[in-house]
Amino acid sequence: MGFTIETYSLYGLPPLPNIYCSIQGSYSVKKDRAVKGDYQILCTAYFSASKNDPVITQKDMLFQIEALPSPANLYISIYEYIKGQLDPHHTLSFTDD
């Protein structure tokens, strides 16, 4: 599970077509004891030329949510967070797989 970015620039290079982003099925959830009701989500976003190609680069990401979704499928929340971090101005085109 992941998504393709229509064009994206890695390492300051000119934008490359169809960069694939995935967390490779791995993330962790921790209850933030300092803040009642908050959960910390830690994941690593991996970028490659396509779904089955080797990883070009990766980026560790950490964010908080107030409550776990029901049903407890965090993938949607994680991928929406990553997309928001990659594209805060909503100019990129994403295709989910």
Report residue 29 as tokens.
């959830």
Whether 29 maps to a domain, the answer reads yes
pLDDT tens readout for residues 7-62: 999 888 899 999 999 999 899 999 877 777 799 999 999 999 999 999 999 999 99
Residue 94, pLDDT score:
97
Cβ–Cβ under 8 Å, residues 74 and 68:
yes
In angstroms, the CA 59 to CA 30 distance is 19
On whether residue 10 sits in a domain, the answer given is yes
State pTM to two decimals: 0.89
Q: How far apart are CA 65 and CA 38, in angstroms?
A: 6
pLDDT for 46? 97
DSSP letter for 1, please.
-
Is 97 within the bounds of a domain?
A: no
Residue 80 located in a structural domain? yes
- pLDDT tens column, 72-93: 789 999 999 999 999 999 999 9
**CA angle 83–89–90, rounded 5-degree value:** 55
Is 49 inside any structural domain? yes
* Domain-embedded: residue 95: no
The boundaries of the domain holding residue 11 are 2-88
> Does residue 93 lie in a domain region?
no
Strands 39-48 and 16-22 turn out to be antiparallel
Domain count, the chain: 1
Prior bond to 17 cis, omega within 30?
Answer: no
Residue 94 maps to a domain = no
